[in-house]
Amino acid sequence: MIELKRLTKQYGKAGTLTTALSELNLSIEKGEIFGVIGHSGAGKSTLIRCINLLERPTSGEVWVNGVNLTGLGNKQLQGERRKIGMIFQHFNLLSSATVFDNIAFPLRLIKTPKSEIERKVSELLALVGLEAHRNKFPSQLSGGQKQRVGIARALASDPEVLLCDEATSALDPQTTDSILRLLLDINQHFNLTIVLITHEMHVIQSICDRVAVIHQGGIVEQGPVTEVFLKPKHEVTREFIRNETDSGEALRLAIHAPHTESSRAAKITFLGSKTYESTLSQTVRETGVAFAILQGTISTIKHTPYGQLIVRFEGDKPAIDLTIQKLQEQGLDVEVMD
């Protein structure tokens, strides 16, 4: 659906060039919600703006639905851009236009008949829950309502792709969750491909299918969110997850908790239905090992439940080793924290 090939974006003049993206490759499948996470300055905003060529790459190719956008002339590019909607961090609404007129704006640009505009905008107002606000101006709306107008406007031209540029970072947590639920509903209802950039792991964890971690203009890690979140490989990814879960503090407590030579700390990860099974307690009954829970959490990654426990096993070393082996044989991920 979307393929970025050796994408490079530089700013400035020869001798003083700043490289925002460097030889970046990325593939996004049709119908998925794909997240890109990175710190400020990592290149994520440049990346998403290169997808619809609001930023033209210095080199490389941008393919969307089988079309190489970087090889098109301006007129052809305008036509392809209508298939790509975009919502922004600061809403970018027309302050002097009503909610209705903001949503109708892209339809009027392509000279859509008035009756069709009325039908389409009314449907979108219902979709985003703003029927009662159609004649209000942006200054009369909350931040969440403004973003809902932005989403409706982005959907007005029936796009195949929706780009979200830090779409929730200006919102409070409760409003963020409501916008994420709306995006998830839109994805499922229209089978719309959504590319979402953020610096918040919570956003990725809530609705994304896959994620790429961007750092210094390159992708350092990518994969299914469950895999990247639960088994991060790059230090930048681990930092995002520590900030989200406070697992760094739990690790410190595990290392410094009172222990003996016959004890061992481990992080156990449960995924899917195993999250709610009594695997740990049944296993230690079989092996005769005692354990203390130092930290624990249960949450979800999109629709998938997961649990993580940091425990200290106590008993004979062979019995502890057998316990870890049995847990792994039953499909649990066990990381010994020596």
Residue 306 lies in a domain: yes
pLDDT digits (tens, 9 = 90+) for 85-131: 999 988 999 999 999 999 999 999 999 999 999 999 999 999 999 99
Asked if 137 contacts 95 with a C-beta cutoff of 8 angstroms, the reply is: yes
**Which CATH number goes with the domain that contains 282?**
3.30.70.260
Same domain (yes/no): 121, 167: yes
Residue 118 lies in a domain: yes
In the listed set 171, 199, 232, which residue is the last one of a domain according to the structure?
232
Same domain (yes/no): 198, 256: no
Asked if 194 contacts 203 with a C-beta cutoff of 8 angstroms, the reply is: no
Domain extent for 269 = 246-336
* CA angle 79–84–89, rounded 5-degree value: 135
Same domain (yes/no): 306, 227: no
Same domain (yes/no): 134, 16: yes
Residue 287 lies in a domain: yes
> What pLDDT sits at residue 248?
53
Same domain (yes/no): 286, 187: no
> What pLDDT sits at residue 256?
59
Instruction: Kindly state the average pLDDT of the residues 51-65.
Output: 95
What is the pTM assigned to this prediction? 0.88
Instruction: Kindly state the average pLDDT of the residues 27-43.
Output: 95
Reported as a pLDDT band with limits 50, 70 and 90, residue 261 is: low
In the listed set 232, 256, 290, which residue is the last one of a domain according to the structure?
232
Same domain (yes/no): 69, 209: yes
Assign 6 to helix, strand or coil: strand
> What pLDDT sits at residue 243?
73
Instruction: Kindly state the average pLDDT of the residues 137-144.
Output: 96
What is the count of structural domains for the chain?
2
> What pLDDT sits at residue 16?
85
Residue 53 lies in a domain: yes
Mean of pLDDT over the chain: 91
Given a cut of 90, is residue 226 above it in pLDDT? yes
**Which CATH number goes with the domain that contains 159?**
3.40.50.300
In the listed set 172, 199, 232, which residue is the last one of a domain according to the structure?
232
Same domain (yes/no): 187, 307: no
Given a cut of 60, is residue 247 above it in pLDDT? no
> What pLDDT sits at residue 66?
92
Reported as a pLDDT band with limits 50, 70 and 90, residue 14 is: confident
CA-based radius of gyration for the chain: 24
pLDDT digits (tens, 9 = 90+) for 321-332: 999 999 999 999
> What pLDDT sits at residue 241?
84
Q: Judge residue 223's burial from the number of C-beta atoms within 10 Å of its C-beta, 0-12 exposed, 13-18 middle, 19 or more buried.
A: middle
Reported as a pLDDT band with limits 50, 70 and 90, residue 242 is: confident
Given a cut of 70, is residue 258 above it in pLDDT? no
Q: Judge residue 274's burial from the number of C-beta atoms within 10 Å of its C-beta, 0-12 exposed, 13-18 middle, 19 or more buried.
A: middle
Structure tokens at 253: 């407590």
